[in-house]
Structure 1
Amino acid sequence: MPRRIDHVAIIVRNIEQALTFYRDTLGLQPRAIQDVPSEQVRIAFLPPGDPGGSEIELIEPTSPDSSLARFLEKRGEGMHHICLEVEDIDAALQEMQSQGVPVLDREPRTAAEGRAIFLHPKGTHGVLLELLEKPHEPA
C-alpha cells in the first residue's frame, strides 16, 4: 500500500507570512508555489532534503467560504493532513472501501500533484490522511 510519506500539510492564513519562518528561518526554499482553483487553495511545496523526498506543504485557502477556510477558522493554523504516496489510487480506494475505512471521496480527485483520496479522521485515529498517486514518469 503506502510507499512513503509524500508530505505533511500545514494550513496557514497567509503563505507569504508563513514563509518568513519556513524559508527565512529554517532555510527551506519553495520548490513550487501554485494556485489550485479546483480545491480553492494556494500551495507551497517545501522540500527539506534530497529531491524526491518527503516535503512540507503549506496550504492557504483562497476562498472564504471553502471547507479549508472553515477548517482554518475553527481550528486555527497547524497540521491539516499527512499524505501517503500509493502506486495505484483506484486500488487503494477499493481496498479502503472493502475494509470499511471511512473515505471522503467516492472517486479519486485531481490533486496538485496527481490523483488523491482523503480518509476521514474518525477511521484513522484522529488524523486526516490523503492517499496520492503521482503520475508515472515515462521510462
Structure 2
Amino acid sequence: MNNPIPLGGFIQIALVVENIETAIDSWCELFDVPRPSVRVTEAVPNHDETYRGAVAAYGLKLAVIDCADRGFIVELHEPDRNPSTFREFLDKHGNGVHHVGFQVGDARDAVIGELEDMGYVMRTLGAGGSWTIVDAEDALGVNLNIKPHL
C-alpha cells in the first residue's frame, strides 16, 4: 500500500455482544476498572450514516472502557435486531471482536481508496466520514475502523 495503516495509530478494539450488562461486568472485573455508563441509541434513520450503501436505522447499546494509559479503548456494542454492521456480525459469529480501530489522520481518504482498490468493501460510513467500517472479516478475520482523527 502507498498509504499503509500505521500500527502506532491503533486506538480501539470493539466487541459485539448479546448482553452488554454481562460483558461490562466481565471486562471491568478483568481490568479492575470502574463500570462505564451505557449509551442507548434509538432505531431511527440516520442520514449521516450508511450501512451497505443505504441509510442506517438501527438501535445500539454502547459502553466504552477507557484504557487511556495504554492508548486505546475497548468498545462494547449490543445491537438491536435492525440491519447494521454489528447485527450482521453477531448473527454470523456470535459474541466477538467486530473491529479494530486505527487513526490515520489526513490519510483517511487515501487509505480508504486503496482498500477499495484492493477489493475491500466499505460496510458502514458513519457521521460524515468520522469513522468507516471496512469489511475485512474474510481476509483479516476482523473488520477495520478507519478514523481520520479522535
**Fold shared per TM-score above 0.5:** yes
Q: Distance in 2 between matches of 1:122 and 1:20?
A: 27
Q: How does 1:29-108 map to 2 (within 5 A)?
A: 29=34, 33-37=38-42, 38=46, 40-50=59-69, 53-61=71-79, 63-67=80-84, 68-88=86-106, 89-98=108-117, 100-104=118-122, 108=125
The answer to which structure has the higher helix fraction is: 2
Residue 28 of structure 2: aligned partner: 23
CA drift at 1:20: 1.3
Contact 1:103/1:117 (8 A) holds in 2: no
Normalised by the size of structure 1, how large is the TM-score? 0.72
Cα deviations by residue, 1:75-110 (Å, 9 ceiling, x for unpaired): 111111111111022232233334x2413159x422
* Segment drifting more, 12-21 vs 24-33: 24-33
Structure 2 vs 1, CA of residues 60 and 97 (structure 1 numbering), >3 Å: closer, same or farther?
same
Number of aligned positions between the proteins = 129
TM-score (norm 2): 0.68
- Counterparts in 2 of 1:115 and 1:87: CA distance versus 1, 3 Å: same
Percent of aligned pairs with the same residue?
25
Unaligned runs of 5+ in 2: 47-57
Structure 1 consecutive aligned stretches of length 4 or more whose deviation exceeds 6 Å: none
State the secondary structure of the residue aligned to 1:18: helix
